[in-house]
Structure 1
Amino acid sequence: MTFKAQLLHFAVILLTVLAGPRIAAAEPLQLVGLGDSLMAGYQLPQEDALPAQLQRQLVAKGHDVVIANAGVSGDTTSGGLSRVDWSVPEGTDGVILELGANDALRGIPPEQTEKNLDQIITRLKERNIPILLVGMLAPPNMGDDYGQRFNAIYPRLAEKYGLPLYPFVLDGVITDRSLLLDDGMHPNTKGLETMAQRMLPLAETWVADIKGQQN
């Protein structure tokens, strides 16, 4: 092998070695939105659902992420617990956990809702998957006692496990009729965009924390 050939061979090897980490670093974060109809995008195209909306806004801010939609309309925390293992595949870098609205609508005891969420969080933490917890507030018609017990679930779990908490998924949306579908409960496309915008600052911090843990 001539000197020039040896030099070229060495250069190719060097470039391959140097490119390896860059290729690995270029892999987007694989996130999963685990939730109910508010995550699934009830009656809307998938590109309008909350995971897609939040993904676009994070990417626009320079974050390389993909958010899979594991929302199931009508799902309760019990349903989420029963499917968490297969809804969150191997290789998932983080989970946005949004469940509990249907528990409140059905009057499920808040203690059971908290137990289910606690078990979901425990399973994810056993897999070393970071969690962004998204809270819900009980409907006023459930009464003060129920509301106080239910509304305390998310701050308590966030504190217990040291999780970032977005306190109320429908913040800024549920009181604006123009951001809701005709049923007056589910957000329309503009409502989901608003939800993603409001969630964005916390989601950015969470994503940065995940990247920091991986480096």
Structure 2
Amino acid sequence: MGAAFRGTGSLTYGAIRAARNLAVTSLIAAGPAQADGVTIAALGDSLTQGYGLPAEDGFVPQLKAWLRDQGAQVEIINAGVSGDTTAGGLSRVGWTLTPEVDAMILALGGNDLLRGIDPEVSRANLDGILQAAEAAAVPVLMIGLDAPGNYGPQYEAAFEGMYPALADAHDAALIPDFFAPLTAETPDAAARRRFMQADGIHPSADGVEVIVEGLGPRILEWLDDLAR
């Protein structure tokens, strides 16, 4: 964290991040006259990409619309790739963090979970992504997932525990579970099917709406924190 940022002479990462946060502050506060606002890259898998949905009904478009309705001047780049694992995210984070990106939402791990990949491998990949964000002085909000119990309690604990551990290690914001708003809306698993697509894995447009309404306030709070 205190190491010199590559290519910036004597400036430290902390100084660069402070300068970037000052820019984010100005953009958030700029109001309707500011055309571009804060640019967020949403690095993720099919949940981010909007698998099975019309483009306007996916997570990124609905989140952008929700945030703008709250007065936030944001642009969100959809860097979600269906089927992507944490390893895939690590392989493309470098070209995702382009100079115009001010912040990043990191939502990966679902496909690692489906494939039963060792959580230590997933954790190392996510750690690499967070290191890349630190090198670019881009603040990150991580969105985790709850693991089912079919891989055993040790796997479940390791998978779920990697998100808060990495958030703490890299000073990243954290939302523990992408699907928490759906669980809160309908605790009964059978009843939640009305918010899911036929595959039972991906949310429907209505499901995405519930998720965005649940996660949106925390994401808006994160943006406000960056502006302080």
The two structures have a TM-score, normalised by structure 1, of: 0.84
Contact kept in structure 2, 1:173 and 1:180, CA below 8 Å: no
Amino acid paired to 2:225: D
Contact kept in structure 1, 2:147 and 2:156, CA below 8 Å: yes
Unaligned runs of 5+ in 1: 1-20
Runs of 4+ in 1 over 6 A off after TM superposition: none
1:43 is paired with a residue whose SS is coil
Counterparts of 2:93 and 2:47 in 1: how far apart (Å)?
A: 17
Tell me which of 131, 140, 145 is aligned to 2:140.
Answer: 131
CA displacement 1:28-64 (0-9 Å, x = unmatched): 1111110001101111122111111111111001100
How many residues were matched structurally? 191
Amino acid paired to 2:94: D
**Is 1:148 the equivalent of 2:164?**
no
Amino acid paired to 1:66: E
Equivalence for 1:183:
199
**Is 1:44 the equivalent of 2:53?**
yes
Counterparts of 2:75 and 2:221 in 1: how far apart (Å)?
A: 16
Tell me which of 141, 153, 160 is aligned to 2:169.
Answer: 160
Equivalence for 1:172:
181
**Is 1:209 the equivalent of 2:218?**
no
Counterparts of 2:99 and 2:53 in 1: how far apart (Å)?
A: 28
Equivalence for 1:28:
37
Contact kept in structure 1, 2:97 and 2:136, CA below 8 Å: no
1:152 is paired with a residue whose SS is helix
Counterparts of 1:88 and 1:127 in 2: how far apart (Å)?
A: 7
2:227 is paired with a residue whose SS is helix
**What is the 5 A alignment of 1:80-91?**
80-91=89-100
Q: CA deviation at 1:172?
A: 3.2
The percentage of counterpart residues that share the same residue type is 40
Amino acid paired to 1:89: T
CA displacement 1:124-172 (0-9 Å, x = unmatched): 1110001011011222222212111111000111111222110100113
User: Which deviates further from its counterpart, 103-112 or 140-149?
Assistant: 140-149
Equivalence for 2:5:
none
Amino acid paired to 2:128: Q
CA displacement 1:57-91 (0-9 Å, x = unmatched): 11001100011111001000000000011123221
Counterparts of 2:48 and 2:133 in 1: how far apart (Å)?
A: 18
Counterparts of 1:143 and 1:186 in 2: how far apart (Å)?
A: 23
The two structures have a TM-score, normalised by structure 2, of: 0.80
Equivalence for 1:116:
125
1:32 is paired with a residue whose SS is strand
Contact kept in structure 1, 2:47 and 2:59, CA below 8 Å: yes
**Is 1:76 the equivalent of 2:80?**
no
Counterparts of 2:181 and 2:152 in 1: how far apart (Å)?
A: 22
CA displacement 1:105-136 (0-9 Å, x = unmatched): 10110000000000100101110001011011
1:69 is paired with a residue whose SS is strand
**Is 1:196 the equivalent of 2:205?**
no
Quote the RMSD (CA, aligned, Å).
1.7
Q: CA deviation at 1:210?
A: 2.7
